[in-house]
Amino acid sequence: MTDAAELPGRTRDDAAVTEMLAAFWHPVCTLDELRASATRVLPVRLLGCDLAIAELSDDEHTIVAMDDRCVHRSTRLSVGWAEADGLRCAYHGWKWDGGGRCIEIPSMPDGPIPGRARVRAYRTKVVYDLVWVCLDERSSAEIPRSVAHGDPAVRIVPGVPYTWSVSALRRVENFVDLAHFAWVHVGTLGQRERPVPPLPEIERADGELRFTYDPPSDFDAGGAAMYGWSRYRMPMPCTVSIEFDLAGGARRTLWMTASPIDLDTCRCFWFMGRTDDLDGPDEPHVEFQRIVLAQDEPVVNNQVPRALPLDPADELSVRTDKVSIEYRRWLRELVDARIGAHA
Ligand code: FES
Ligand SMILES: [Fe+2]
């Protein structure tokens, strides 16, 4: 019999990586996307789990997340609709409260409701106008911080989420890869004739990975560019927050979280912040990011396997891969801690 780990694209660590990532909060949709649904229910997938996200119409407008499968006859709950106190299954009308308990079986108004009439429900939060879910009920993780939110000097511009056919970890590694600027981002973030990146000091503090980047100052990337001395912070393995100090004292931020749909696919949620050009249109800033993303997309979406290998022998690293080497070391530690917890 073939070991699952020997199948193309699968690594021995897949289960531990999934479990490690399940302990963090991940965004699954924007609040706008959920509210655009006439039923106030949306199907999403997180780490291979199909979930139904619903906004109940109670006083709090409570947002709930539960397995997207009714235990009665297995119709997806996401084809149902949200009511004030629960999610109504479209097939036979059973109603599920936010904790995943069945509270009504219309064909049996006098009951009883079987004790097994439960679906798994998960914690949710709405932060930065995104709906976040944590699959691990024991986790004490927090939502990754954004320095831009809550700062009255910053204008925040949300980006349109995008889905890429690559693992969240590969997507994030690309985001902090300094050696690709000279090749992939010619004219926006780098120059072909300057292929040698700096080797930053990498700090691990408060559960974050941090470093600073000081790009060549004689390169004009344009007024809408996110380019300049920058502080990178990774509050968790799928989130990157970059704070740029521009010449002249302006500050800009770029924040991205790659939500793991599964180990081969991610959906990226992001936003920008700026303290300058406050009266100017957002379009040039959005367009700059669109160009950068279009430059990254063909190389990142063609990495095989799509999952990021954590065995150093699986890919060849060199000295100038310093950031990604440290990123992978961090991931390895997090995964090993999960494996150790089961030993
Ligand atoms: S399948 Fe959901 S109520 Fe029957
Ligand atoms: Fe890039």
> Which mutation among 89, 95, 96, 102 tests ligand 1's pocket best, with the greatest number of atoms within 8 A of CB?
89
Atom of ligand 1 nearest to the CA of 80: 2
**DSSP one-letter string for 184-240:** H-BTTTB-TT---------EEETTEEEEEE---TT----TT---SEEEEEEEETTEE
Together in a domain, 73 and 165: no
What percent of the chain lies above the pLDDT cut of 90? 83
Classify residue 12: in a domain, yes or no.
Answer: no
The pLDDT of residue 92 is: 98
Q: Is the CB of residue 191 below 6 angstroms from any atom belonging to ligand 1?
A: no
User: Quick check: is 16 in a domain?
Assistant: no
Q: What is the pLDDT of residues 116-146, one digit of tens each?
A: 999 999 999 999 999 999 999 999 999 999 9
pLDDT at residue 13 tops 90: no
Biggest CA–CA distance in the chain, Å, is 77
- Mean pLDDT of all residues in the chain? 93
Counting the structural domains of the chain, the total is 2
The answer to whether residue 8 scores a pLDDT higher than 70 is no
Looking at the fold, whether 126 and 199 belong to one and the same domain comes out as no
120, 172: one domain: no
What is the structure's pLDDT at 6? 56
Q: Is residue 306 part of a domain?
A: yes
Instruction: State the Cα–Cα distance between residues 98 and 236, nearest whole angstrom.
Output: 27
pTM of the model: 0.94
- pLDDT of 77 > 90? The answer is yes
Give the number of the atom of ligand 1 that is nearest the alpha carbon of residue 94.
3
- Shared domain check, 244 and 205: yes
In a domain? residue 108: yes
Predicted pLDDT at 145 = 92
Q: For residue 61, how far is its CA from the centre of ligand 1 (angstroms)?
A: 24
4 falls within a domain: no
Centre of ligand 1 from the C-alpha of residue 92, in Å = 5
The last residue of a domain, from among 79, 101, 134: 134
What distance in Å separates the CA atoms of residue 77 and residue 74, rounded to the nearest whole number? 8
Q: Are residues 193 and 62 in the same domain?
A: no
For residue range 228-262, list pLDDT tens digits in order.
899 999 999 999 999 999 878 899 999 999 999 99
| pLDDT attached to residue 220 | 81
Instruction: Give a yes or no: residue 330 inside a domain.
Output: yes
Domain coverage including residue 118: 25-134
Evaluate whether residue 159 is within a structural domain: yes
Closest C-alpha to ligand 1, atom 4: 92
The answer to the question of residue 43 being in a domain is: yes
What separation in Å is there between the alpha carbon of 81 and the centre of ligand 1? 13
Pairwise CA distance, residues 19 & 246, whole Å:
39
- Grade residue 227 by pLDDT with cuts at 50, 70 and 90: confident
Gap from CA of 244 to ligand 2 centroid (Å):
16
Question: Does residue 2 carry a pLDDT above 70?
Answer: no
Centroid of ligand 2 to alpha carbon of 125 (angstroms): 30
Could you identify the residue written with the tokens 């302990």? 23
| Nearest ligand 1 atom to alpha carbon 105 | 3
